[in-house]
Amino acid sequence: MSTIFTLPTLSAALSILPSSLPFMAKVPAAKPTQPSNKFVAAAEAIAAGSVGDKYPILSTSPLSSEETTALAAELDAIRDEVMADLGAQDALYIRRVYATVAYSEIAGRLLLVVAALPKSKRMRLGLWLAGVTSLSLSKILNNMELGHNVMHGQYDWLQDNHLNSRQFDWDNMCPAPLWQHSHNYLHHTFTNIVGRDHDVGYHLVRITDEQPWQPHDRFNLLKIAFLAMGFEWAVAFHDVQISFQEYKQSDEFPTIMQQKSRSLLAKIARQVGKDYVALPLVSGLIGGRRGVTYNLSGNITANIARNIWTWAVIFCGHFTEQAHIYTHLDDHETRGDWYVRQMLGSSNITGSKLFHIMTGNLSHQIEHHLFPDLPANRYASIAPKVAAVCKKYNLSYNTGPFSTQLSQVIRRIHYFSQQTAAEKLASQQAKINKVAAEPAISNAVFNDALTLTAESASKESATASKSGFRFVSAQRKRFIKKLPPILAQTLAYI
């Protein structure tokens, strides 16, 4: 579990460095600078609550225990009513989606193959665009309405092996078990709790004051553009990054990381081999070099289209202007409190029936977070009832057009890419404590991942023959240390 430091705790931690690191004892103490008056005034205004909170933060449920108990009973009744009504129509719906995914993929693949054959450039371009459109449709439906919902267990009641959450795998770089741990368990249990829900910024962008500002946050809009285009890659490595923090105190840490890393790399190899090697080569046997180019470029374009669409829907469901962020998990949180947190931390998107299908019905993000195991095609029918419950208990039911929600997400990312006046003040006051701290912090991830203590080494050597875990060689360690932290964490344990 990643740790979110507040400025006071970080300053306290860094203040002990001179006594613990000998080389720092020689560094003379710098004279503290006097913060600008405008920074002080702004900080005092924020502390006094005179500055409007555009992006709400909560530490506990805004309702009383009696209200949350009553609210939970009403929402449970909505869920029970739908579950009792599930039947043939729901089965027919998801099987039609399954068939649409399969047939649109076949059509798209074939169109990309034949696109290289005509002599007319216009005809080739038309076939290529048709192939990319069909393949993009298949990949979007596969990931959103089919994969996401099936892997939530929404159709386990059908007892169909093709639609079973424990057997289904999607057309995506991320293995199903890794996604189910980071998403089904962590994200849906600890929704929008900073430090517990790792989907809050995906360890890449800052979207709340509760995440300390870093200099690289200035480039959040650029980072989010790369995140959107490569979203399946971020999702793929997400659980390995989380597990590195979550399990590193466990005796089973090396074995867990080895299993997850190997599973991830095997899935990446299959996906890359299919979309970027095997299918382009098959197309090349028919259309020559042009066939390889058309097929490869078509697959890349379809994957990017799916990634951008998926990113947009997910972020519009969680990081709009009024999506609430929680500072911590209430130790005494009840089911009613959990319901409230899901409603306040999620946002809906209005649109047509086709739009809702293309989003995997995650345009009804509030209903999905309340009932993640309820078939998503039912969310539209219960949305008015959920909205009525929110109104009854004076809770916001955040919904709006796609363009509005997306623009709010972009504005939020831009807003938190900049330092506030209070953060600038804190930065000035903490300036003296930053001497030589950056190198120590930046190397911490490698020390955790690649340095084995004598105690852990003796434990791992006893189980090495059973788990297959191998210690990192000196040469491999030097190579891995040059990689980004997420790749280092993955490759250190394969």
Question: What is the tens place of the pLDDT at every residue in 433-468?
Answer: 666 565 655 565 555 555 544 455 455 444 444 444
Report pLDDT for 463.
Answer: 47
How far is the C-alpha of 301 from the C-alpha of 289, rounded, in Å? 18
Give me the numbers of helices (H) and strands (E) for the chain, helices first please. 24, 4
User: Rounded to the nearest 5°, which phi and psi values hold at 193?
Assistant: -95, 115
d(Cα 14, Cα 20) in Å, to the nearest integer? 10
Mean pLDDT of the chain: 83
Q: Flag whether pLDDT at 24 surpasses 70.
A: no
Handedness of CA 151, 153, 155, 159 (dihedral sign): positive
- Alpha-carbon distance of 302 to 142, in angstroms, equals 12
Residue 284 has pLDDT above 70, yes or no: yes
pLDDT band for 479, please (50, 70, 90 cuts): low
The predicted structure's pLDDT at residue 420: 76
14 Cα distance to chain centroid? 30
CA-based R_g, the chain, Å: 25
**Residue 401: strand pairing partners:** 350
Q: Which of 208-217, 263-272, 312-321 has the lowest mean pLDDT?
A: 208-217
Token code pair at residue 41: 């005034």
Q: Given this model, what pLDDT does residue 291 score?
A: 95
Q: Cα dist. 106→100, 109, 123, 240, 386 in Å?
A: 10, 5, 20, 32, 39
- pLDDT tens-digit profile of 111-149? 999 999 999 999 999 999 999 999 999 999 999 999 999
Summarised one tens digit per residue, pLDDT across range 381-437 is 999 999 999 999 999 999 999 999 999 999 999 999 988 777 777 777 766 666 656
Residue 27 pLDDT class (50, 70, 90 cuts): very low
* The two three-digit tokens of residue 248, written as one number: 């590193």
SS3 content of the chain, % helix, strand, coil (to 5): 70, 0, 30
Residue 473's pLDDT is what?
Answer: 60
- Cα 209 to Cα 153: distance, rounded to the nearest angstrom: 35
CB 347 within 8 A of CB 83: no
Q: Which amino acid makes up residue 87?
A: G
Give the model's pLDDT for residue 21.
33
Rounded CA-CA distance 87/83 in Å is 9
Give 208's contacts (C-beta < 8 A, 6+ positions apart): 55, 57, 194, 200, 201, 325, 416
Helix axes 65-85, 379-392, angle to 10 degrees: 160
Distance set, CA 490 to CA 91, 472, 477, 486 (Å): 39, 12, 13, 6
User: Which of 150, 85, 163, 151 is CA-nearest to residue 382?
Assistant: 85
Q: Which of 35-39, 99-103, 194-198, 233-237 has the least mean pLDDT?
A: 35-39
Lowest mean pLDDT among 91-100, 177-186, 368-377, 485-494: 485-494
pTM of the model: 0.80
Query: Which range in 36-40, 187-191, 210-214 is most confidently predicted, on average pLDDT?
Result: 187-191
Cβ atoms of residues 434 and 344 within 8 Å: no
Query: What does the chain come to in residues?
Result: 494
Whether 41 shows a pLDDT value over 50: the answer reads: no
Cα–Cα distance between 368 and 372 in angstroms, integer?
5
Task: Tell the residue number behind the tokens 């979550």, with chain if given.
Answer: 246
Among residues of the chain, what percentage have pLDDT more than 90? 64
| Eight-state DSSP code of residue 56 | -
Listing DSSP states for 278-340 in one string gives IHHHHHHHHHHHHHHHHHHHHHHHHHHHHHHHHHHHHHHTT-STT--EESS--TT--HHHHHH
Indicate the pLDDT class of residue 47, thresholds 50, 70 and 90. Answer: very low
Is the backbone of residue 57 left (phi > 0), alpha (psi -120 to 50) or beta? beta
